[in-house]
Each structure stands twice: as structure tokens, then as C-alpha cells.
Structure 1
Amino acid sequence: MTKVMIVGAGGVGGVVAHKCAQVASVFSEVVLASRTVAKCDAIAKQVEAKTGVKMRTVQVDADNVPEMVALLKKEAPKLVINVALPYQDLHIMDACLEAGVHYLDTANYEPLDTAKFEYHWQWAYQDKFEQAGLMALLGSGFDPGATNMFTAYIAKHYFDEIHELDIIDVNGGDHGYPFATNFNPEINIREVTAECRHWENGEFVTTDAMSKSAKFTCPDSVGTFDIYRMYHEELESLTKHFPTLKRAQFWMSFSQNYLNHLEVLGNVGMTGIEPVEFNGQSIVPIQFLRQLLPDPASLGPRTKGKTCIGCVVRGIKDGKEKIVYLYNICDHQECYAEVESQAISYTTGVPAMIGAKMMLEGKWMKPGVWNMEQLDPDPFMEDMNKHGLPWKVIELDSFSLEK
């Protein structure tokens, strides 16, 4: 019997629960935990209706380390799948260390008061996890996560040396709202409005947010989109673990409508992360905005279209330059039909399940704190094809993102 605990009951948590239930031979018992147990109950009800698998639910404040430790010691899961907020990563890692439980997350730690997407806080746990004989797998979502695997797979099978990396995340979905975010609004808006950093000639270069854009035509008739260069955390680990990279960039698609709304909200202070006083109470503007916007978990029934996320790598093989593009296309409505979620949550939740599966099956299990690309990509990539995220790889004659 292998028991796991999923911490977090948002859109991604629901997908992870559904996908674990589909592989009950590996995830023989799943406990759903969240501050709001009613959300866990709703997920458990969905999962049972779809798969017949029953999951228990428990209430826990993941920011309260002693409370989390007590729950972990009582339940004794082999692994915690952390799909709570990035602010809570270190608290959950501390609880796992104290309770002797392996750890996995989908996004790196982020301080509440600073829009910093960096790994160094979690990398500092390397010795603690190694000495405890426990494994912590960081960033087992799509980006980061699958994109790290794409890069590692391409580097392993197609190149002697990789020199340039462009990660391109396109969401061609339409939910019909004037303005909404496809995952946690607070995290999404903080990412988009943060300064851009890209890797060039051995260092990170900082530019203004959204200051560089390009047109990108997705394969398989998904469409042509405006993409914008921004910082994303996988650049930090990929440039560390692939030192031959001379340039690495991350791009994401945004509609002009989304950007117009974001600009206005920023201009009036609604995207701020510093507390302000209002009617005798301290509120954080972006957290208040989050309450006004549609819940990302509610977008599934109304979102149509596809996502196209992949990596373009330029490098050298047998002395000759070549370009390889590896990508996945995911249909929002197909995801909803399967797990009652839109594709953004689906593309994050499936790799979380696969990463956990890799650990539980012993294919990746080793003490310490690890980023995805430090591990063998082949079994993970094989499972992506089996569990709902099929990918394609093609060689390109040329590639440019200059507008």
C-alpha cells in the first residue's frame, strides 16, 4: 500500500487527484488536505463519480508547521504532493523533514512580500533532505516541469551540446470573460508584472516587463499568437544544469485585451503587493483583486481552444548546427470532459502525478533536493504519452523570434 497526501484543493489539486485515481495501482490511498475541507470534499466527490475511487479528506493549515507535522505523523503518507500556494513551500518542506515524508511541488517558493521567483531558498534544503534520507522534487508541473524534461530529453537524444533555448507557452483558449486568469490570479499577475530576465552570455540580463514581443505560429493549426518575453523560474535551474547554454528565454502568449486590463489595474494600484489601510483594515490590493476575479477552477466548462507549450533548442550534433522543437498541444474541452478542469490546470496537474509516480516507483528516488532536469527524462516522457500529454518532436530548418 502506498499512501500519498495532496495538499491544496484548487484547480491543479483536482487534476492531480483525478490522475492519481486513474493509476490506483501506484497511488493505492490518497488523502486530500486543505485549509478549506469543503473544497477537498468536492474534489473527492468528483473523483469517485468519475473513477469509483474513494479519497479521504482532512483539514489543515499548511502554514502551521506543527499542525502539518501532526497530520503527517498521524497519516504517515510516503509522499506529499504540494499544490498549495508557492508561499507555503518552505513550511511544507519543514513539516516533511520533521515527519520523515518525501516532498514534491509544482512551483518554487515565493516570499509573500516580494515578487521573487527563485530556487535558492529551496536549494538550501539540499543537505537536510539528503541527511534525512528524503527526496524533494521541485517544479513538477508543466512550466516548470515538463519544459525542463523537454529540454533534458532534447539534450540527451539530439545534441552533443545545446546553445540556445526558447520556451514558448501559448494558451489559445477563450473563457469568454472580459478578464480572468487561468491559474491563481495573485501568482499569475505577479509573474506577468515582474521584471523580465533572460540568460545571455553567462549572466541574466534584466529588461522591463513585457518589453519584448514576437509573433509565433503554433504547429497543427493551433494558430498565430503574440508572445512576450518574461522571466520564469525554470530558466534559473536550466542554465545552472546546462552550462553550455549561451542564451535562454521564456515566452508566453497574451491577448491585447488581457494586457489592456492589466495595464489599467496596475495604473490604479490594484496589482500592488504592499498592504494598504482601508476602513481600519489592512488589505493587499492584489489579494482583494483575486477575490473579485473568476475562480480559475470555474473556467473549465466555458473554456474552448488549445494550449501549445514547448521548447525550441539550437545546438551542435556531430559538429553541425541543428534546431529541434518539442511540444505538447492540449485541448481545453477534452480536459474538462476527462477531469472537469481546463487545460492550464490539467497541464500542471498531470506532470505532478507523473513526477510522484516516478518517485514512488523508484525510478527517480534519491535523497536530496532535485530539479526535474537532473533526473532521467525518458521514463517521465514515456508516461506523458500514456497519461494525457502526448508530445511531438520535429527538426526545424530555421527559427527566429525577432518581430
Structure 2
Amino acid sequence: MAKVLILGAGGVGSVAAHKCAQAPEIFSEIVLASRTVSKCVAIADSIRQRTGRTIETAQVDADNVAEMVQLINAVKPDLVVNLALPYQDLPVMDACLETGVNYLDTANYEPPDTARFEYKWQWEYQDRFREKGLMALLGSGFDPGVTNVFAAHAVKHHFDEIHVLDIIDCNAGDHGYPFATNFNPEINIREVTARGRYWERGEWVETDPLSWSMQYDFPEGIGRKKCFLMYHEELESLVRNLPGIRRARFWMTFSDNYLNHLKVLENVGMTRIDPVRYNGQDIVPLQFLKELLPDPASLGPRTKGKTCIGNVMHGVKDGKEKSLYVYNVCDHEECYREVGSQAISYTTGVPAMIGAMMMVTGKWQGSGVFNMEQLDPDPFMEELNKRGLPWKEVILKG
């Protein structure tokens, strides 16, 4: 029985809070905190209606270490689950160190002024967490998160070495808007407009944004979709921790409609992240655009279709070549019926809850900063099947 403090009342925070509430035998107390407490209250009302459980809510600025320390000391949680913005990872980690509480997040730290998807800032906390006997679990979402666990599962059960890894993320859902993002627009657009990067023979190779594409035939009726090479942060930890990796890439699907809108917005400067002077004030165009776009949390009742995220892996086992595809398919409408959110939030919020479960039950433990593939995949994979994200694997060769 554990008490958990969840930071962030967006779509992912809502899903994680709902899923924690579904497991009272593990999470005996839940506190949900955000800068905007009214969002927490709305989620708490939904949880009470769906599960009969009452959770606590609180207001906090996760950028403010002193505020975070005060809240953690008042709540006394066993674990802080950070589902706020990636810019806030380091202040929250600082607060956890000061209060002696374990830490979990779903996305790597990003500096507000530049799109840099790197773990280096958080990896630098390794010694501080280890010396205090605390555990920090990084990237317990889907990608990063489940995709890392899929790779660890493959190494443990199928390969001696993985030589080639392709992580392929397809959202075949339709929300009916001309242009909207399925998670925080600021983070989404920064990610998509960044230069592509992949690992090849011991070095990083860069590409122009969305300049490489391929067609992939997705399972369970989703069909053939165009996928674009991007950089995603789980590649950074996987190439460091997977034995024998020679090439690692990340691919994501986008509709022509999405890409056309994004190109126009980019051409007119609306995706810029540097301040622009307007009417005597500095505004960041991308932050302003975020306010104009639909709130991702509002997409749930409108979105139909499925997501499919998985790993295609090629390597060797007992000296013979082997290929494996491990994936999950998630239905937007089923997610909305269960927790009131679309599948993008669901596929991130559920792994956040499972990662928290691994930590508070002691199935995953250690001192220091950990990426998901460094821990035993078996209990996590088992919980995916139980908690709404069942996985399948297909041996393609060997």
C-alpha cells in the first residue's frame, strides 16, 4: 500500500490518476497536483464517478523547487510521478532529492529555449540519487517507456544481440479537426520540426526534418501508412544499453493534412520558440499557437480509430539470424469509455502507472537514475496485459 503524488493535470496525468485509482490494493492514497487546481478537481470528480474513490488535490508550481519541497513534505508520498511539462523535470528532481522521495517521469528534460531531446541533464543526477539511496525512473511512458521495455524483453527472451532496431509509432486516429495535436502542442511541434537523427555504426547521423519516409503495413486492420524518420529520446539510452546495436531509428506516421498545416505554420513563423516583440511584450509564437489549438484533453470524445506502436528488431540468437516484431494496438474509443481520454494520453498514462507500481511494490528498485531497459522487463510486460495495453509478438525470421 503506497501513497503517490502525481504532478500534472493534462491528458496523461488524468489517465495515470484514473489507473492508479483502479488499483487501491497498491495505491492506497493519491494526490493530484497542478498549477491549475480546477483541472485536478475535474479529474478527481471523474475518478469518484468511475471508481467511487476520493483522491486529494493540490495547487503547485512545479518550476518552483521551494513550493515542490513544501508540497512533498506536506503530502509525504512514497513516490512523485512527474507528468508535468518536460521543462520541469529538473526542479522536481531537485525537490525529490531535498525531501528524500523517489522520482518517476515520462519524458526527458528539455530546456525551454531550444529543442534538445537529451538525457544528459538527468543522467548527471546519477551520483546524487545514488548517494541518497533514491531511485529516479526516466521515461515511463510508451515511447519512451514501453518501447524500451519491449527491447529489454527481446534481449532477455529472444536475442543474444539486437543489431537493428526500428521503433514505429502509428496514430491512425481521426479527431475531425483541420489541425490539432494529440498531446501538448508546444512539445509535439518542437519534436516534429526538429532535425531527424538515427544511430548508424557507432555514430549519430542527422537528417532534415521529416525528409526520410517509408511505407509500413500495420497489423489489425490499420493497414499501410507513410512513416517519417524522427529523433526520439529513447534511442539515446537504448544505443547505450543494448548489446551489439548497430542501427537504431524511430519512425512516426503523420497525415498529409497535418503536415500541410504544419508547413504553413512553420513558413509564417508560428512554430518559432524564440521571443518576438509584439505590442510592447515578448511573446513566443509557438506558445501563442498552443493557446489557439484544441486542448488535447478535449479530443477524447471526438477521436476514432487505433494506435499501433512497436519495435521491429533484427539480431542473432545462438549464432542464427532472427527478426521479431513486438507491438501494442490501442483503440481511441475504448480508452475514452474507460477513463475519458483518447489513446495517445492512455498509452502514456498507463505505463506511468505501471512504472509507479513497479517502484512502490519493490519489483523495480535501486539507487540512482535508471532508464526503463535497465530493469527486469517481465513484471512490467505482465502488467501491460492486465492494465489495458496488451502486447503481441510476431517472429518474422528465425
TM-score relative to the length of structure 1: 0.98
- Aligned partners of 2:169 and 2:253 also within 8 Å: yes
Residues 1:239 and 2:239 are matched in the alignment: yes
The whole-number CA distance in structure 2 between the counterparts of 1:296 and 1:396 is 36
Percentage of matched positions with identical amino acids: 69
Aligned counterparts, 1:255-334, within 5 A: 255-334=255-334
Aligned residues: 398
The whole-number CA distance in structure 2 between the counterparts of 1:62 and 1:240 is 30
The whole-number CA distance in structure 2 between the counterparts of 1:208 and 1:291 is 28
Q: Which residue of 1 aligns with 2:4?
A: 4
SS at match of 1:173: coil
| Amino acid paired to 2:122 | Q
The whole-number CA distance in structure 2 between the counterparts of 1:110 and 1:24 is 33
SS at match of 1:28: strand
Q: Which residue of 1 aligns with 2:162?
A: 162
The whole-number CA distance in structure 1 between the counterparts of 2:176 and 2:97 is 44
Deviation of 1:161 (Å): 1.0
Deviation of 1:34 (Å): 0.3
Q: Which residue of 2 aligns with 1:98?
A: 98
Q: For 1:366-401, what per-residue CA distance to the aligned partner results, in whole angstroms no more than 9, with x for missing partners?
A: 111000000000000000000000000001149xxx
| Amino acid paired to 1:311 | N
| Amino acid paired to 1:189 | I
Q: Which residue of 1 aligns with 2:145?
A: 145
SS at match of 2:151: helix
Deviates more, 1:239-248 or 1:179-188: 239-248
- Aligned partners of 2:15 and 2:349 also within 8 Å: yes
The whole-number CA distance in structure 2 between the counterparts of 1:223 and 1:340 is 27
Residues 1:54 and 2:66 are matched in the alignment: no
The whole-number CA distance in structure 2 between the counterparts of 1:181 and 1:127 is 37
SS at match of 2:173: coil
Aligned counterparts, 1:129-140, within 5 A: 129-140=129-140
Q: Which residue of 1 aligns with 2:83?
A: 83
The whole-number CA distance in structure 1 between the counterparts of 2:109 and 2:13 is 17
Residues 1:41 and 2:44 are matched in the alignment: no
| Amino acid paired to 1:2 | A
| Amino acid paired to 1:177 | Y
Q: Which residue of 1 aligns with 2:108?
A: 108
The whole-number CA distance in structure 2 between the counterparts of 1:2 and 1:389 is 23
Deviation of 1:36 (Å): 0.3
| Amino acid paired to 1:308 | C
| Amino acid paired to 2:146 | A
The whole-number CA distance in structure 1 between the counterparts of 2:39 and 2:154 is 39
SS at match of 1:328: strand
SS at match of 1:94: helix
| Amino acid paired to 2:13 | G
The whole-number CA distance in structure 1 between the counterparts of 2:186 and 2:145 is 21
| Amino acid paired to 1:176 | G
Q: For 1:304-355, what per-residue CA distance to the aligned partner results, in whole angstroms no more than 9, with x for missing partners?
A: 0000000000000111111100000000000000000000000000000000
The whole-number CA distance in structure 2 between the counterparts of 1:168 and 1:188 is 17
Q: For 1:112-144, what per-residue CA distance to the aligned partner results, in whole angstroms no more than 9, with x for missing partners?
A: 001000000000000100111110000000000
The whole-number CA distance in structure 1 between the counterparts of 2:168 and 2:241 is 20
SS at match of 1:307: strand
Residues 1:28 and 2:25 are matched in the alignment: no
The whole-number CA distance in structure 1 between the counterparts of 2:183 and 2:210 is 19
SS at match of 1:6: strand
Deviation of 1:243 (Å): 4.1
The whole-number CA distance in structure 2 between the counterparts of 1:117 and 1:40 is 28
Moved over 6 A (4+): none
Aligned counterparts, 1:161-180, within 5 A: 161-180=161-180
The whole-number CA distance in structure 2 between the counterparts of 1:23 and 1:239 is 34
SS at match of 2:27: coil
The whole-number CA distance in structure 1 between the counterparts of 2:74 and 2:50 is 29
Residues 1:14 and 2:5 are matched in the alignment: no
Residues 1:207 and 2:207 are matched in the alignment: yes
The whole-number CA distance in structure 2 between the counterparts of 1:110 and 1:35 is 19
Q: For 1:203-257, what per-residue CA distance to the aligned partner results, in whole angstroms no more than 9, with x for missing partners?
A: 1101111010011110111121110000000000000001410000000000111
Once superposed, what is the RMSD of the aligned Cα atoms?
0.8
Q: Which residue of 2 aligns with 1:197?
A: 197
Structure 1 spans left out of the alignment, 5+ residues? 399-403
Structure 2 spans left out of the alignment, 5+ residues? none
TM-score relative to the length of structure 2: 0.99
